[in-house]
Structure formats: structure tokens, C-alpha cells
Copies of this chain bind each other. A is one copy, B any other.
Amino acid sequence: MTTWTTYLEQHRSRYLTELLDLLSIPSISSLPDYAAEVQRAAEWVADRLQRAGLEQVAILPTSGHPVVTGSWLHAPDKPTILIYGHFDTQPVDPIDQWTTPPFTPTIRDGRVYARGASDDKGNMLIPILAVEALLRTQGTLPVNVKFFLEGQEEIGSPQIPAFLDAERERFACDMVISADAGQWSEQQPSIWVGCKGLAGIQIDVQGPHTDLHSGLYGGVLQNPIHALVELLHSMRAPDGTILVAGFLESAHPLSEVDRALIEKVPLDEEAYRNQLGVPALAGEPGYSTLERNWARPTLEINGIWGGFQGAGVKTVIPATAHAKISCRLVAGQEPEQIVDLLTDHVRRHTPPGVAVTVQALPGRARPYLMPIEHPGNQAVHRVLAELYGREPYYIRSGATLPVADLFLRTLGADTVSFGFLLDDEQFHAPDEFFRLASFERGQTAYCRLLAELGR
């Protein structure tokens, strides 16, 4: 009987052809004109799940782009794994910066260039192919598997929370594995264990009822921009330490284990500084660059405006001044609580002479931290260590991954990241590509991971 490794080798050429076929569908979720292409990609994926041997294959409508599912549930004593990925893509602008057309997949130097190659069609296809190899060679899977493949990830999955809430029975599982994920480098594997939450406010300062001449009215009243500067200054020390009462206290401190794991991850700070184009890296004292980025909360002014912004001079005391602030949150911090702390801080620090209002901004997200000792992480660790010949790093992200929190809250399941994109693969940019070596290594990795999870 053929082993799955042999099967993967024998079908390598067909799998690549299938990848190129999927990549040729311009399933750009953000552009209404391409909605039919997103639908076409969904049909392609559903057909592919069917041909891989999955059952209950369906294209499920949402009020936006659809979700594709399929499952294999014949391992009654084994855990149920929900595999997550997405078949929609980013837009392609600036189109003139592509070496070859974004939806004409082209292989150069062991890489396939196309929009969506790395994020996420290539990575999403991997577990489907792995499942096929296992089913075709063994007639069974080591675990129960469900697929949750969506078509709106690149626009923030607006319909997914309501959809998942309504479909929680169908997607009940013990663990989620996200194929929308990557590794630290070609030689160095990594396990993603957390991301930050998000909460933001807008501060609106109202001074006089109209812009005033800064000479005729100089010195008599509070300038709303100065009042805003004082408010903003009161929220964060010059060294980056957040001063909002209760804010840092609500963040779970980094454990010694956390710090040790982060310290293992190499970062060339000088190269990083150069890449960003700044004279120096900076942030909260007492923490390394990666600790600050991954595991410490931040407060950033995203925008500020007030008064005259044109060329030359207009000497006004403006009627109003405004700022938008967002905070990245870590374990222990709830977005609602942070908005309350910020609002309360502004209220207590408003200087005399102006009226200040605070509005909570949309886009809240809860932080997500995966227990390192989670069985999924342990299985991933064994597979990656064996496959790469070295221990994986435990990494995090300073951004949000709302779907992980959504799965946790709706299904009670943690999300294990298991994907093979690499940071240089130009996702969201021209000339996006995916390494064929990653595509093949991923298939092996998924076969081994399912086996590990079934052990």
C-alpha cells in the first residue's frame, strides 16, 4: 500500500497545477465587482474538498462572502480539529509594480508569484492536500477534521461572528488550526502563541465657539490644541510608559518563562531600525524590543488635527482640536475596561477653559494568548522540531487576530497556528509569492500534525 509520503511525491505536479488554478481566480473580497470571483473561488474550494474525500461539503452563505466547509468525522474517540483558512485576497494596486500579472500565476526560482499565493491560498490548500493524501493511502484520518474556509478575511470578516454564532453546532471542535500563519524563517520554525487586543477613543476638545485671532484674543483663553497637548502628555510619559491610572496594572505581567521564550527569538535591532528609517528604536523602559511589541500594551496617537494646516501662516486660536488614540492590549485587559479608563483619565485631566468629549472608536478586539502547554502547541512543537531539525521559537504578534478570540468565545476552542508563509513574501503588496518548498513541506507537516494530534 502506498504511504502518504509517496502519494505526496506522486501527486506533486498535480497539486502544483491545482494551486496555480486556484491562484488564477481574482477573488478580491474588498471590491464589489469581484464578488462573483470570490464565489467562484468558493466553488473551486468546495469541489476540491469533495475530491479530497471530505463529506458534508457545502458552500454556506453569510450576508457577505460565503464560507466553505467539509468534514470527516469517523474517528469517534479522537479529537475534532477545525482547520481555518481563507480563499479571498487583497486587491492588487499598484498593479504596475507587479513583474507578472497578479492573477497569472508564474513560477520563477522555486517561487510561485500571484496575489494570494502566500496569504492565504497556498497555505489554505496545504491541509486539503494533506487530508487527501491520508485518506487516499490510509482510508482514514487520525482525528476528526472540519474545514472552515472563509471568503472575507481581507476585509475583516464582518459577517463571520454572526455566522459562526448561528453555526456553532456545525463547527463544534476541540481545537482550531489556522493555516493562515507562517514560520520565522526558512530554516527556523516558530509557534505563534498570542496577539494583542485593540481599543480606541477619539478626543474632541471644544474651545471658543469660533476660530479667534491669536493676537486680539491672545492670553485670554485656553487654546484647544494646548489643552489637547496637555491631555495627551498626561496619558503617556516621554519614555513611553503609559500613565493612565489602572491601565498598566490591568496587564498581566510577563512571566520569567514568557521572557525567556521571547529572549530566544533573534532580532537584529540595527537592521530593524534601518528598515524602519528611524534614528533609534524606542519604547517602555525595562522591556526588550520584542517584549514591547509582542507582550506589553501600547498607547499610540494615530491622528491629531486642529487649527490651520495649510502653507504659510494663519495666526488663529482654533475653536477645536482632535485626536484619535488606539491601545494595543495584552492578557488581562478588556477593550471596554480600557475605554472606560481612558475616558475617565480624560475627564480627570481636562484643563479649565475647554469642554472635552470622548467617543469610543469601533474596531475593538480582545487580546488572545494561547497556553504554551496546550496539546495543540505540543503537537506542533514535535512536528516542527523534527521537520526543521531545531526547536521552534514561541512568537506573538502586536496586531490583532480577532478570529482566534471569536473561536474561543463561540466554540470554546483555542487556535493553534500552523502555516508556512514567511515575512518576505510580499503579502498585501505587489509581487506576492509563495515558496514551492514551503508548499511541499507544509503538506508533509500537516500529515504529521494530524497524526500527532490523534496520538
Contact = CB atoms under 8 A, between A and B. Distances in A.
B222 A282 contact: yes
A236 interface: yes
Given A225-B301, A304-B304, A398 B218 contact: yes
A214 B315 contact: no
Interface string A302-317: 1111111100111111
B322 A302 contact: no
A354 interface: yes
A454 B32 CA distance: 84
Contact of A300 (B209, B226, B232, B351): B226
A280 B352 contact: yes
Contact of A229 (B218, B232, B314, B322): B232
Interface string A185-225: 00000000000101010000001111011111111111101
Given A221-B276, A233-B229, A281 B353 contact: yes
Contact of A222 (B222, B278, B317, B328): B278
Contacts of A200: 313, 315
B292 A303 contact: no
A230 interface: yes
A240 interface: yes
B225 A304 contact: yes
Interface in A271-328: 272, 276-284, 287, 289, 292-293, 296, 298, 300-309, 312-318, 321-324, 326, 328
Interface in A225-260: 225-226, 228-230, 232-233, 236, 238, 240
B313 A362 contact: yes
A218 B233 contact: no
A220 B287 CA distance: 10
A397 interface: yes
Contacts of A232: 226, 229
Contacts of A328: 214-215, 218-219
A230 B301 CA distance: 12
A361 interface: yes
Contact of A399 (B210, B213, B281, B304): B213
A400 interface: yes
Contacts of A314: 302-303
Q: In the assembly, how many copies of this chain are there?
A: 2
A363 interface: yes
A355 interface: yes
Contacts of A281: 220-221, 353
A352 B273 CA distance: 13
A450 B188 CA distance: 93
A208 B278 contact: yes
Contact of A221 (B226, B278, B322, B354): B278
Given A217-B276, A324-B307, A316 B302 contact: yes
Interface of A: 196, 198, 200, 207-210, 212-223, 225-226, 228-230, 232-233, 236, 238, 240, 272, 276-284, 287, 289, 292-293, 296, 298, 300-309, 312-318, 321-324, 326, 328, 351-355, 361-363, 397-400
Closest CB pairs A-B (n = 6): A219-B292, A215-B399, A209-B277, A303-B307, A282-B353, A303-B308
15 contacts: A200-B315, A210-B277, A214-B298, A215-B397, A215-B400, A219-B283, A220-B281, A223-B301, A225-B301, A225-B304, A302-B314, A304-B304, A304-B305, A313-B361, A313-B363
